[in-house]
Structure 1
């Protein structure tokens, strides 16, 4: 608890100027110090620590106008961020009155108690090159890291506190209408006609999905999330993706649908031209959550996130960036239609590699959902993806069940307006025909691809696998080579590692 009776000191920006000067002085820390200013804080980096002083400012969405509110916000920031980054958030430190009207730093504490001129959040300093936005700029992010990040986000969301009295369609409508009102203040920047289109499409989506938004809230999918989940607020700590700097100043921004929280990260990757990484993150999150029902909301969520960034950039005088985010918001709310793609071939033919390569180019952002028969089989059998299955798990009745589940999930995904790639052997004519029939019934384009490679390549690939969902080895490949596959109407492509011609041909097939 905060002891407000003993709170004294700075209560205005003018008062804080002296404190900021004190914190900017190398003599205060016994070494060099760097200052970074944001709209809500002054951040001081020195040695192995970071000190964050919250500005004495009041906005409709963020109020640090009194020292009591700043103290409460400091406590909340440490508490909330320790959910995901406990080693980074060390505690709080008071700024105390020193001799001759100067200041001094008080000891590290865990609660804002006692007399203080102001309060600081104290963090362990992280190498800037370990920040994900820096890693993105230097090309150091990859699909494996995105899958590990998805695991971290999914675990965080799974443990986050649930709310049924917040979120839902009313909360999303508030965000959309607030965006529209603030964007309308800059008709020179966004254009009245284009803004009207964004507003109309967003409202139509809200009306169409109002019931689903409330259903998700009532079902526990509105939780105390991060609220500001983009690459700049993610770093590597001991080699692990770590979320930090969550929203602590406004519960309406932080307590949201888990998919809306994730949408900020997907939008950020997409906006940086990193759709393949967004698709890898998206697919891994879907594997962890199974949230196919939420896919229909993604266009609205991605668009709203981009619109929020557009108004923030505009308020900061970054007109070019604001326009780019606004364009992104318009594109996301009016996405292309879904498409059903099937990738077949014997074990080792490269199905999963090709499916993941093609997925970013299929359907609405951030690309298609990849359904992999090997992973679905393990899921239905109730084991981890890398556990080996007994022979009976590959009996005909189980295989039939796997393909039925793949078709059902594909139906649900396409019906939600999203693209899908089904990655399975598809050795039987009926297995191939089933997906073609499904696409016809749903009224969406279908593309089938049959991958081939020489037997020695197939065997070498399956024998080289480690930590993979597939159990296939040399004996499985040799048995598959004896299959009577029947007529294969899908385009055949010989897929060899590093073959750019085959990649180009594959992309032409799905276009």
Structure 2
């Protein structure tokens, strides 16, 4: 509900004269108005009160403007300039930051091109997949440094989400959402919540509930100085922002998947997990994705009811149904499988693994366990830092393969598919990987990539900014070893990567088809 008439302030901010004659562009949402003028952006919080948001008084708007700047400077320090008052002089004139009486408050930001927003880039088909890995790393870094909030989250925090979705479906979804579908999503989410409640509470006690972003979708990410930058996080409701870190990430993954960008979503997912090493929470992702989609179904249905324009109302109702269908779908993931990609350094294992991952298993695709990344974590160095010979001793390599197989088993138990990306030239390492699949009773597919030595050496020499430290001497050492009996499917990796991916995808589909028929 509207609690105050802000018309004079809005008219003042709309005038070019307020901004030195610059043309003013206005962006309206249900909770704020943003005025773009020259090199600045000013965000006015609307005088409104909802069940989840209270901007009802100037004092609250001032406090929440300050909170918005403080919280968002964590991820976008150069974007947020500060808080500025709209003041009224004795003669009744308004000024920005004047000496008169403050009547309202604004968040002042540096302006950026709207075309740099990730949702605009996605809509235009120009959201580069190369941006996804640094984006996943940036989110992981942000979560690592975010404040622990054990007073929120856990099973109770997710119950608040599920119950809120159910209430929204009943109040606003009746006109556009199939009642049985809404009930099915709520019932299944509640069942999953009961099953996973202990894990949710355990993660809260272990520090995985933090002061997160809270609204992490593509419209709140912008490309600044060629860097993916998170902004406009939630400051107005800690029930929304103080949550499990993977629930925070799930909003972005859901948004990418819904926009038919599965490869983008999978790269973010895998880079995040590589940086955060958060394997324990993987089992929660179907529930988290479903709740995020259900929230969007609820808010889209709600927005549709407030529309006077019939066409826009119809678009929002269709969007609500699409989100609800996704919320239902992700709660029924397919049977997981284990794929192993082996071969000497330079054979294209990582390229194949990441190309294959989006099409395998539950949303957002298979988790790639890369031995090179595991080695760096075990040695306590950043993924891109070069390791000396001590990092490649026999004992370290044994720990690497033991950790990879342990994590693969854990992920399969959580219901997600795994791709193991490792050289695996020793028969014992290959046997251990196969044993993981057998113990989990899931389909297994092993591929061995082959290419001539000169090609392997050329590829390793060309590699930069990668977790692998392999060079020509490493290739020669690997090829000198006896690989023993190779039962995995041999793949010619001397051809273009797209051709290798096509061949392997066909074989994976055939194997999964055979496994389903056996069931």
User: Does the TM-score normalized on the shorter chain lie above 0.5?
Assistant: yes
Cα 1:39–1:350 change in 2 (3 A) is: same
Residues 44 and 51 in structure 1, CA contact (< 8 A), matched pair in contact too: yes
Partner of 1:26: 16
Return the TM-score normalized by structure 2.
0.91
Q: How is 1:49-198 mapped onto 2 (pairs within 5 angstroms)?
A: 49-98=40-89, 101-107=92-98, 115-185=101-171, 186-198=173-185
Among candidates 316, 341, 353, match of residue 339 of structure 2: 341
Q: Distance in 2 between matches of 1:396 and 1:159?
A: 34
> SS of 2:475's equivalent?
helix
**Alpha-carbon shift at residue 392 of structure 1 (Å):** 4.6
Cα 1:394–1:313 change in 2 (3 A) is: same
Q: Distance in 1 between matches of 2:380 and 2:150?
A: 31
Q: Distance in 2 between matches of 1:438 and 1:73?
A: 51
Residues 87 and 98 in structure 2, CA contact (< 8 A), matched pair in contact too: no
**Alpha-carbon shift at residue 411 of structure 1 (Å):** 0.6
Residues 150 and 207 in structure 2, CA contact (< 8 A), matched pair in contact too: yes
Residues 201 and 334 in structure 1, CA contact (< 8 A), matched pair in contact too: no
Q: How is 1:337-416 mapped onto 2 (pairs within 5 angstroms)?
A: 337-416=335-414
Q: Distance in 1 between matches of 2:149 and 2:104?
A: 32
Q: Distance in 2 between matches of 1:436 and 1:244?
A: 44
Q: Distance in 1 between matches of 2:390 and 2:86?
A: 68
Cα 1:107–1:127 change in 2 (3 A) is: farther
Among candidates 232, 250, 253, match of residue 263 of structure 1: 250
**Alpha-carbon shift at residue 325 of structure 1 (Å):** 0.9
Residues 452 and 494 in structure 2, CA contact (< 8 A), matched pair in contact too: no
Q: How is 1:201-212 mapped onto 2 (pairs within 5 angstroms)?
A: 201-212=188-199
Among candidates 295, 302, 305, match of residue 315 of structure 1: 302
Partner of 2:240: 253
Partner of 1:487: 485
> SS of 2:95's equivalent?
strand
Residues 348 and 497 in structure 2, CA contact (< 8 A), matched pair in contact too: no
**Alpha-carbon shift at residue 408 of structure 1 (Å):** 0.6
Q: Distance in 1 between matches of 2:238 and 2:138?
A: 22
Residues 202 and 300 in structure 1, CA contact (< 8 A), matched pair in contact too: yes
CA RMSD of aligned residues (A): 1.9
**Alpha-carbon shift at residue 98 of structure 1 (Å):** 4.3
Cα 1:501–1:90 change in 2 (3 A) is: closer
The runs of 5 or more residues in structure 2 that have no matched partner are 305-315, 510-519
**Alpha-carbon shift at residue 107 of structure 1 (Å):** 4.7
Cα 1:14–1:177 change in 2 (3 A) is: closer
Q: Distance in 1 between matches of 2:153 and 2:400?
A: 36
Of 208-217 and 487-496, deviating more is 487-496
Q: Distance in 2 between matches of 1:376 and 1:385?
A: 9
Cα 1:435–1:17 change in 2 (3 A) is: same
Of 114-123 and 444-453, deviating more is 114-123
Q: Distance in 1 between matches of 2:157 and 2:497?
A: 49
Structure 2 residue 272 is matched with structure 1 residue 285: yes
**Alpha-carbon shift at residue 161 of structure 1 (Å):** 1.4
Return the TM-score normalized by structure 1.
0.93
The runs of 5 or more residues in structure 1 that have no matched partner are 1-10, 109-113
Structure 2 residue 227 is matched with structure 1 residue 227: no
Cα 1:69–1:498 change in 2 (3 A) is: same
Partner of 2:443: 445
Partner of 2:512: none
Residues 459 and 473 in structure 1, CA contact (< 8 A), matched pair in contact too: yes
**Alpha-carbon shift at residue 13 of structure 1 (Å):** 6.3
> SS of 2:83's equivalent?
strand
Q: Distance in 2 between matches of 1:379 and 1:193?
A: 47
Cα 1:156–1:394 change in 2 (3 A) is: closer
Residues 143 and 281 in structure 1, CA contact (< 8 A), matched pair in contact too: no
Q: Distance in 1 between matches of 2:413 and 2:162?
A: 25
